[in-house]
Structure 1
Amino acid sequence: MKRSFLSMLVILITVISCTAQHVYVFAYFKGNGEDGLHLAYSKDGYKWAALKNDQSFLTPVVSKDRLMRDPCIIRGGDGLFHMVWTVSWNDKGIGYASSKDLVHWSQQEYVPVMEKEAGARNCWAPEITYDQKTGTYMIYWATTVTGKYTETLSGKESSYNHRLYYVTTKDFKTYSPAQLLYEPGFNVIDATIVKAGRQYMMVMKDETVEPAKKNLRLAYSDELTGPYSKAGLPITGNYWAEGPTTLQLGKDWLIYFDRYKDHRYGVILSSDRQKWTDVSDKISLPEGIRHGTIFTVSEQELQGLL
């Protein structure tokens, strides 16, 4: 009996140890996204080190511009890593690829998500969120459609005037028709959606040009595809922020974002998602890192990357 108890205790300790050995990986791009996917890792969610000497893990080959901006990687219900990215400044589709180990990737695909929308000008910063309840992936992005939402149109910044759109898929082979995901009453881009308790939390950028807002705000929904609530008050400070990605550490939520005017990254922290504190002075990231996403890998998977 004693030996059996000790054996169970060893197994329990091993299980706890294995589940605790998770590593955070940051997928990002540099420059204009010409050289492709970059990865960094962290054991604590604050101090990050570039992998592969900060060289590209995947060179973009799809679309006329062959860019790989704003990479979003998640681990799917099938255990694979699924990635989407911005392929061009002015195109009607996005890029997609998958991988078992983040080193060897499937053939890159161009997914023409807004091809049927005649006035669509772009598809920026696509992201994926997985709905475990239904086994469905939602891919969403920002698009300007000429002639729509003219009440928030500005003549500045090339008259971009975005709203958020989405498609769903279960296999990354067939996709639903594109639909409007979020119309907050202002120019909106760079959404990322995560499960927070029983709800889905959307972090988005208020892209209002006149007067310039350029801050991050939150909205919530009971279902992944919405409807989402009215956007809350800004959670970032007196600077321009974009490209948010979230990381939950225990009871704390971290939101990383690109302070692109300042050429550096910022981070805010909250335990209740109501009051946010700037902790940017506590982070360390690879030089030149741009808009990306954070996800989790195992210690074994990290060793494969190292």
Structure 2
Amino acid sequence: MGAKKWLSRFMSLVILISLLPAPAIQGKEIDSVENKLIAHYDMSRANGKLKDVTNNGFDAEYVGFSDGDFLEEQNNMVLNFTGDKSKYVTLPAGLINDETFTIETTFSTSTSAAHWLYSIGNKTGVWPNVKNYIFLNPKQGNGTVRFGIKNSDQELLFQNSTINSGEYNTFTTTFKEGEISLYLNGEQVGTLPHTYSVLDILKEGVDPNANAIGFIGKSLYEPDAAFTGKVTDFKVYNYTLSPTEVKEKVTLTDKEIVELAKENLEIPNANDIRGNVTLPARSSKGATITWETDSPDVINVNDTVNDDYDDIPAGVVTRQDTNKKVGLTATITSGEVSDKKEISLTVKAKPGKKNFSSYLMTHFTGEHDIGEQIYFASSTDGLNWKDLNDSNPVLTSNIGEKGVRDPYIFRSAEGDKFYNIATDLRIANGKGWGAAQTAGSKSLIVWESTDLVNWSQPRMVEVAPPKAGDAWAPEAFYDEKTGEYVVFWASTVSNEQGVFEPHNIYYAKTRDFHTFTKPKVFIDRPGETHIIDTTIIKDDGMFYRYSGDGHITIEKSDQILNPWTKVGTIESSTGLTGHDVEGPLIFKFNDKEEWNLMVDQYATGKGYLPLLTTDLSSGEFRKLTASDYSLGSNKKRHGSVLPITKEVLVKHKISQSLLLIQ
């Protein structure tokens, strides 16, 4: 009787189990005990899916892409993401079924935006209704990596690393219970201790009817941009890689290092060289580069020693009376592997001298809808200004923070090229001054032109230290001793305790405004004194600089990078302090030995006030009365002034613009 009861109960259990729904299985059954690579997408494709080349069956469907989006670079297949929201990849269900796993992806991007490279979780929406996800944005608006994990209550973020912009990077994230470790190009850059359950996040953040757990190239926040960049590799492991394993998997062979360096090596504006060029001695992956030239009288490919000063890097250009074709040969070496790359340049004929009779001002107007863009104004006497382009912005930034302030326009040392550099910042977007200083952009926005009418598209160049919170009010001055531009700006930098220190002035050197040296401190005031808004002018062999540090402080030096001594402040002659004014700009009048120091009356909102002097060394200035100058209808906020030859207003397709005859 007991045996029959046992058998009856056993059969009932078997029947009950047989009626339960079978769990969905994506791909082949994966042995949960064996540590292995369970999915690998090398961007090869078949039947509308990225192939999982592990043959585990985790092929990933792609949406919207055509054959033209799949590119071949250095014998590797690359999927090109163009920022089109209709194009993305779906990550199949079943990829992650434990708290321990690793995601590794290799990509390149030079775009700073709210664009996610990948997401785990697939429920989209708008803030604050998007919850339960993991994501990677390799280059957010301020230029840093942004990685995050969020459950239903709060989000944990990592933002303390910066990729090599425009180059291929590998970002690896390893997960185990209570800890996420983050690696960039094989080196650990951060750790996030946590109390989250990834499986709970997947349970709540994944639509069970979607047969997918996330995306490549798509943010879950619907207003966000789609990813812009290239992805060449995406891997998922079912275990936590060790630091040694992470490093081994991203280490390149000597052959690969040389091939990569050769692919990336270029000289900007090769067909229109108008000044010294950058000839790198080493690639980002450590290959050495040596240079030869067929025209040593035009381009010097050797460094030159400067006694008691920075040396002169290779790449000094001597322009001739006519255009000159120059051939360069770069020899690239890593270990026992070596290769050559030929680069052809056109060095433009040296320009003639110009007589300046007018002035061009660039500025922004304030924190309103279109105020944080670049406006132009012109003057024939340096005191009375007329707004150009119907008082509308002439240059606008749609990258980074999508706004610019503190524009600085200047003429190249050769005289026939122009740059406009500006702070990447838009307060009008509601970010607030606190976040602008501690979570702002580390980049400058750069435009260039050869005629002041036709400008390049804006580009971002990251210059600030890795732990900086901002990069404000950039300016540049040519250092004749080294043949480089010294670019300087204000940054606040986080210390070892995570506290942001007062603003200091940093500098980096460049020849082409593409490649910059590592940042160094230029001015460091003692104690808790902030210093911002530095500007420099040269007269009679002496450099003078003006900075906002509670005052507008004046200093002088015989060389840009030599020690500086204090001259005084403008308070003694004008009564103005840093509580009244900021953003100094200075220029010399074209027709007399007199200088105009213009200061932004930010405290009263009145815009620029001219202060004049006939002797920079005295530090004494006199204020003008309102009847002595006029600034036009646009408010003139922190900007710069450039001497020009003459101006003519012309009509073009969009609006009025300024045509400068050089």
TM range (shorter): 0.7 to 0.9
Structure-2 residue corresponding to 1:229:
565
Q: 2:642 aligns with which of 295, 303, 306?
A: 295
Q: 1:283 aligns with which of 617, 621, 629?
A: 629
SS at match of 1:121: coil
Partner Cα separation in structure 2 for residue 188 and residue 263 of structure 1: 21
TM superposition outliers: structure 1 runs of 4+ over 4 Å: 18-21, 300-304
Mark the CA change 1:103 to 1:260 in structure 2 (over 3 Å): closer, same or farther: same
Q: What is the Cα deviation at residue 44 of structure 1?
A: 0.6
Name the count of aligned residue pairs.
271
Question: In 1, are the aligned partners of 2:421 and 2:444 still within 8 Å (CA)?
Answer: yes
Structure-1 residue corresponding to 2:518:
177
Gaps of 5+ in 2: 1-352, 426-435, 651-656
Partner Cα separation in structure 1 for residue 567 and residue 490 of structure 2: 16
Mark the CA change 1:133 to 1:226 in structure 2 (over 3 Å): closer, same or farther: closer
Larger radius of gyration: 2
Partner Cα separation in structure 2 for residue 32 and residue 270 of structure 1: 31
Which TM-score applies when normalising by structure 1?
0.81
| Structural mapping, 1:4-83, within 5 Å | 20=355, 22-32=357-367, 35=370, 36-63=373-400, 65-78=401-414, 79-83=416-420
Structure-2 residue corresponding to 1:87:
424
SS at match of 2:488: strand
| Structural mapping, 1:164-203, within 5 Å | 164-185=505-526, 186-203=529-546
Q: What is the Cα deviation at residue 131 of structure 1?
A: 2.5
Within the alignment, does 1:270 sit opposite 2:618 as a pair?
A: no
Structure-1 residue corresponding to 2:490:
142
Residue by residue, what CA displacement relative to the aligned partner does 1:263-288 show, whole Å, maximum 9, x if unpaired? 12212111123221111421210332
Partner Cα separation in structure 1 for residue 486 and residue 522 of structure 2: 10
SS at match of 2:533: strand
Within the alignment, does 1:260 sit opposite 2:602 as a pair?
A: yes
Residue by residue, what CA displacement relative to the aligned partner does 1:41-72 show, whole Å, maximum 9, x if unpaired? 11111101011111111111221x21110000
| Structural mapping, 1:101-250, within 5 Å | 101-114=451-464, 116-118=465-467, 120-147=468-495, 161-185=502-526, 186-206=529-549, 213=550, 215-230=551-566, 232-235=568-571, 236-238=574-576, 240-249=580-589, 250=592
Question: In 2, are the aligned partners of 1:184 and 1:231 still within 8 Å (CA)?
Answer: no
Say what the alpha-carbon RMSD is for the aligned residues. Answer: 2.5
Aligned amino acid, residue 174 of structure 1: T
Higher relative contact order (Cα pairs below 8 Å, separated by 6+ residues): 1
Partner Cα separation in structure 2 for residue 93 and residue 288 of structure 1: 26
SS at match of 1:53: helix
Question: In 1, are the aligned partners of 2:355 and 2:645 still within 8 Å (CA)?
Answer: no
Q: What is the Cα deviation at residue 227 of structure 1?
A: 2.2
SS at match of 1:305: strand
Residue by residue, what CA displacement relative to the aligned partner does 1:95-140 show, whole Å, maximum 9, x if unpaired? 11101222321121111112x422x111110011123454311111
Partner Cα separation in structure 1 for residue 367 and residue 487 of structure 2: 22
Aligned amino acid, residue 629 of structure 2: I
Identity of aligned residues (%): 30
Structure-1 residue corresponding to 2:658:
305
Mark the CA change 1:262 to 1:295 in structure 2 (over 3 Å): closer, same or farther: same
Partner Cα separation in structure 1 for residue 382 and residue 483 of structure 2: 28
